[in-house]
């Protein structure tokens, strides 16, 4: 079986999955690998995990190119992803228009589901926002921290807390059954992160990796990227 190996931030999991069948029809290759916190994925590449293509934050991909692990000329932007709030499907929407609203919503929640606060894009940002709002110590015991946003959202969906809420990247919320996107973080607390794809220097299948990049970033997938939660791209 021909397989393209990928290491990717969780933000792109839904989009890659939605294109897997089209990619196989075009190339004959399946896509296999890992999706998770971008820092963890980058370290796996640094430690020699066999990888053809990486999809991570543009800033991190640029560093990996400087480290001669990714071919700089192959890096292409996929799109911007917002960090957002999530609720269990069926729970009341979290009305957040400014930082004061966000502070109130978080203080009213009895469980806050987030990805890794040290290695994931959204998790690091959530930790910073809690400090910014002056409530990090108050809500510390309510944080439910998981290795990545997808896991955090699945746990939110299954939560038996009375007033749980989640915060991760919008793409991970949209692609998880049982949770609903409740809106982006408000001005002053917002984060929109550019994700990019690139071919690794040690790629065993560089042509197929380029084929996947072309599929991910092509004009024909504009609407698919939008549905997956990418709010802007190079089209």
- 85, 179: one domain: yes
Cα–Cα distance for residue pair 70/38, rounded to 1 Å: 15
235 — pLDDT class (breaks 50, 70, 90) = very low
- 68, 90: one domain: no
- 69, 162: one domain: no
Would the pLDDT of 92 be above 90?
yes
- 135, 147: one domain: yes
Provide the pLDDT for residue 27: 97
- 150, 213: one domain: no
Mean pLDDT of the region 178-191: 96
Reported as a single tens digit per residue, the pLDDT across 32-77 is 999 999 999 999 999 999 999 999 999 999 999 999 999 999 999 9
By mean pLDDT, which of 78-87, 93-102, 189-198, 226-235 is the weakest?
A: 226-235
- 101, 129: one domain: yes
- 11, 26: one domain: yes
- 35, 22: one domain: yes
- 74, 86: one domain: no
pTM (2 d.p.): 0.86
Reported as a single tens digit per residue, the pLDDT across 112-158 is 999 999 999 999 999 999 999 999 999 999 999 999 999 999 999 99
- 123, 163: one domain: yes
Cα–Cα distance for residue pair 171/144, rounded to 1 Å: 19
CB 4 within 8 A of CB 212: yes
- 85, 146: one domain: yes
Residues 6+ apart with CB under 8 A from 127: 117, 136
Structural domain that includes position 41: 3-80+193-232
- 55, 40: one domain: yes
Reported as a single tens digit per residue, the pLDDT across 146-157 is 999 999 999 999
CATH of the domain at 122: 3.40.190.10
Total domains present in the chain: 2
Residues 6+ apart with CB under 8 A from 124: 117, 118
Provide the pLDDT for residue 230: 92
Reported as a single tens digit per residue, the pLDDT across 5-36 is 999 999 999 999 999 999 999 999 999 999 99
Contacts within 8 Å (CB) and 24+ apart, 108-111: 108/163, 109/139, 109/142, 109/161, 109/163, 109/164, 109/165, 110/142, 110/161, 110/162, 110/163, 110/164, 111/142, 111/144, 111/159, 111/161, 111/163, 111/164, 111/165
């Amino acid at each position: 079986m021909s397989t393209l190996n990928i290491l990717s931030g969780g933000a792109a999991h839904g989009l890659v999955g939605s294109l897997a069948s089209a990619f196989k029809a075009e190339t004959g290759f399946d896509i296999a690998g890992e999706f998770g916190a971008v820092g963890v994925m980058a370290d796996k590449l640094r430690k020699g995990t066999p990888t053809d293509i990486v999809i991570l934050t543009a800033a991190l991909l640029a560093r990996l190119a400087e480290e001669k692990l990714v071919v700089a000329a192959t890096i292409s932007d996929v799109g911007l992803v917002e960090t957002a709030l999530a609720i269990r499907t069926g729970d009341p929407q979290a009305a957040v228009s400014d930082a004061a609203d966000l502070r109130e919503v978080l203080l009213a929640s009895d469980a806050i589901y987030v990805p890794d606060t040290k290695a994931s894009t959204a998790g690091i940002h959530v930790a910073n926002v809690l400090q910014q709002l002056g409530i990090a110590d108050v809500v510390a015991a309510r944080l439910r921290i998981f290795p990545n946003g997808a896991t955090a959202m699945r746990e939110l969906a299954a939560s038996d807390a009375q007033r749980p809420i989640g915060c991760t990247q919008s793409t991970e919320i949209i692609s998880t059954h049982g949770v609903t996107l409740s809106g982006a973080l408000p001005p002053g607390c917002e984060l929109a992160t550019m994700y990019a794809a690139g071919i690794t220097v040690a790629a065993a299948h560089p042509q197929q990796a380029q084929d996947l990049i072309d599929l991910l970033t092509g004009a024909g997938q504009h609407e698919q990227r939008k549905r997956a939660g990418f709010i802007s791209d190079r089209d």
